Structure 1
Amino acid sequence: MMRKTLTYFLTLFLVIACSTVPITERKRVNIVDDAEILPASFAQYDTFLKENKLSTNKEKTQEIREIGQRISKSVDRFMRANGMIEEANQYKWEFNLVEDEQMNAWCLPGGKVVFYTGILPVCANEDGIAAVMGHEIAHAFAKHGQERMTSSYGQQLGGVAVALGTSGQDYETQVLWNSIYGISSQVGMLAYSRTHEKEADKLGMVFMIMAGYDPEESIDLWKRMKADSKGGAPPEFLSTHPSHDTRIADLQRYLPVARMNAREYGIDE
C-alpha cells in the first residue's frame, strides 16, 4: 500500500512539475518557485561580492557590463514577446568582474552574473566574452538552477522508493540495491548537468546572435579552451561538462539552427 501511494505521488509530481524550455523545447521538471529561490539567490550574490575583490580594471568591467546588458535585453525582449512578462519582471540582471585567476564565470538564478578575470584571456575579444555571457545567461533563462534543486528533491524521493522496495529483502540485497541506486543516481546527476551545459551552449549561441555578436566565435572559444586545458579534462561520462571536442562539434552542427532561431525570434539591430 505504501509503495502504491509513493508511486502515485511520484507520478503526480512529474505531471504537475513538467514544462518546456523555450527555443530548445526540452521537457523539464521543476517544482521550485521563483518566489522561493530568487531572494536567496540575490542575497547570496550580494554576499559573494562583499567577500571577493571586484576588478579595478574599469575598462574591462564596463565591457563585461555592456555585453551582459546587451544580451540580457535581447532575452528580455524575447520573453516579453512570448508571453513570459511576469517571468521577465523577476529577473534582476547584474554583471560584475571579480579579480580571480580561475578560468570561470557563472550566473545565479534571476540573472546575477560574475566573470572572473582569469577567463578573459581565453575569451580573447568582445565576441568571445559574448559567447561566455550568452552561455551563462542561458542557465538563468532555462532555470537550470531550479531544475537541479527539483532533481535533488526527486533523488531524495528515489532513495525512499528504494528503501521501501527492498524493505522485505535480506540485508545483503538491500545494500546491493542501495549501492546501485547511489552509483546510478550520481552518474545520472552528472549526465543531467551535461544536458544543462549543452542546452546553455545552444541557447547562448542564439542569444549572442540576437544581440548582434558573431556566433562562430563561440566555436573558436572552445577551441582555445581545449588548447589551454592540454588534455587535462576527466572522462566525459564522469564529468559535469561535455568534453571540448563534443562541445565544438555540437556547436558547429547547431550553428545553422541557431541562426534560424535568431531570425525567427528577432535579431537586434
Structure 2
Amino acid sequence: MFKKILPLAILSSLIVGCTASPTGRNQVLLYSSGDMTQLGAQSFEQIKQQEKINTDPKVNNYVQCIADTLTHYVDQSTHWEVIVFDSPQVNAFALPGGHIGVYTGLLKVAKTPSQLAAVMGHEIVHVTANHSNERLSQSKITGLGLQVTDYALQDQAYKDTAMQALGLGIQYGVALPYGRTQESEADIVGLELMAKAGFDPQESVALWQNMAAASGGNQPPELLSTHPSHDTRIKDLRKAIAKLPAEYRQPQELSCSL
C-alpha cells in the first residue's frame, strides 16, 4: 500500500511549472533547468566517448561559425559546446545545458550554410523551448516510467534510465521522440532564429527538399509518424517565411563557409 502511495505523494510534492512555449502553447514542466542541464551534460559526455569526433579544422570551424551566429540570438548566459561527429548519419541534435552535435553525413544533405543553419536552429529551439523537459514531464504525468523518473535525480542507475526515456542519449535511440507539435514548433521558431541571424530562410525549404530526395521516399505516413511529412514541413515553412518581417527575408553576408 505504501509503495503505491509513495510515487503519487512525490509527484504531488513536485512544483509543477505551467509555462508558455515560444508560440504561446501551454507547457507543464516538472523539472528544473538545473536538472535538465545535468542530464544533458552527462548524456553528451557519453556520446563523445562512444562516437568518433571529427578533427578537421575546416569542418569544425564551419559548423562552429554557424552555431555561434545562431546562439548569439538566444540566451547569452549559456555557453554552447559544439562537436562534429564522423558518421554517415544525416542528423544533428542539441541537448539541455548548451550542447550541439552535428554528424558529417548531414553536411552532404545540408549543402549550404543556411541549410545547415535551418537544421541547427531547429535543434537549438528544442532546447530553448524546453521540449526535453516537457517530454519527460509528459511521460511522468501519463505514468510512463513513473517508478523510474520519481527517483531519476537521486539515484545514478535510475538517472541513466531516465535519459533513455528522454531520448537524450543518441546511443540509446529515441525511446520517446519529440511529438509532431514540438517538431512543428521547432521548425517555425527555428526558421525565425536563422532568419534573424542573417541566414536565408528560403534555404529551409531547399533543405527539406534535399531531405526528401535523400530519403528516396522511404518515409512513413504522416499519421503514423511523430514528425510532420516532408510535404507538410515545406508547406508550413513557406507560409511562415511569408509572415517574416521584410528585413528577415533578406539574407546577410556571413563569413561561414566550408
Name the structure 2 match of 1:216. Answer: 202
Q: CA deviation digits over 1:16-72, x for unaligned, max 9?
A: 4321113x1221111111111212211221221122111132211111011101100
Give, in angstroms, the shift of residue 257 of structure 1.
Answer: 2.7
Is the contact made by 2:139 and 2:145 (CA closer than 8 Å) also made in structure 1?
Answer: no
2:237 aligns with 251
Counterpart residue number, 2:126? 139
Per-residue CA deviation, residues 215-263 of structure 1 (Å, 9 max, x unaligned), is 0100110011111111111111221211100100010111123437969
Which TM-score applies when normalising by structure 2? 0.75
Counterpart Cα distance in 2 of 1:218 and 1:242:
15
In structure 2, the residue corresponding to 1:19 is in which secondary structure? strand
Contact 2:36–2:133 (CA under 8 A) maintained in structure 1: yes
What are the superposed Cα offsets for residues 133-153 of structure 1, whole Å, 9 maximum, x if unpaired? 111111111010000010010
Residue 268 of structure 1 deviates from its aligned partner by 11
**Higher helix residue share:** 1
Whole-Å Cα distance in 1 between the matches of residues 96 and 253 of structure 2? Answer: 24
1:237 aligned partner: 223
| Number of the residue aligned with 1:21 | 21
Q: Is the 8 A contact 2:198 2:248 kept in 1?
A: no
Cα distance in 2, alignment partners of residues 157 and 63 from structure 1: 40
The correspondence for 1:129, drawn from 103, 113, 116, is: 116
Correspondence list, 1:169-248, <5 A: 193-248=179-234
**Residues 20, 27 of structure 1: 8 Å contact kept:** yes
What amino acid is the match of 2:188?
K
- Say what the alpha-carbon RMSD is for the aligned residues: 3.0
Instruction: Name the SS of the counterpart of 1:110 in structure 2.
Output: coil
Q: Which moved more, 1:251-260 or 1:236-245?
A: 251-260
Q: Larger radius of gyration, structure 1 or 2?
A: 1
- SS of the counterpart of 2:125? helix
Q: Secondary structure at the match of 1:74?
A: coil
Q: TM-score, normalised by structure 1?
A: 0.72
- Please state whether the residue corresponding to 2:205 is helix, strand or coil: helix
Distance in 2 (CA, whole Å) between partners of 1:245 and 1:41 is 32
1:95–1:114 Cα contact (<8 Å) kept: yes
CA distance in 2, matches of 1:235, 1:61: 36
Distance 1:56 1:126, change over 3 A: same
Deviating 4+ runs (over 3 angstroms): 12-16, 157-160, 258-263
Q: Figure out how many residues of one structure are paired with residues of the other and give that number.
A: 216
Deviations 1:184-217 (A, max 9, x none): xxxxx77x61111100001110100111100010
1: CA distance between counterparts of 2:215 and 2:96?
28
- What residue in structure 2 maps to residue 97 of structure 1? 84
Helix, strand or coil: the match of 2:123? helix
Q: Which runs of 5+ in 1 are unaligned?
A: 1-8, 77-87, 161-188
Report the Cα distance in structure 1 between the residues aligned to 2:123 and 2:213, rounded to whole angstroms: 21
- Asked if the contact 2:91–2:106 (Cα under 8 Å) also holds between the matched residues in 1, the reply is yes
* Pair 1:148 & 2:135 matched: yes
Report the counterpart of residue 44 of structure 1 in structure 2: 43
- How many angstroms apart in 2 are the aligned matches of 1:233 and 1:155? 28
Distance 1:13 1:28, change over 3 A: farther
Q: Tell me, yes or no, if the aligned pair for 2:140 and 2:146 is still in contact at 8 Å.
A: no
Structure 1 residue identity aligned to 2:193: F
The aligned amino acid for 1:49 is K
Aligned to 1:180: none
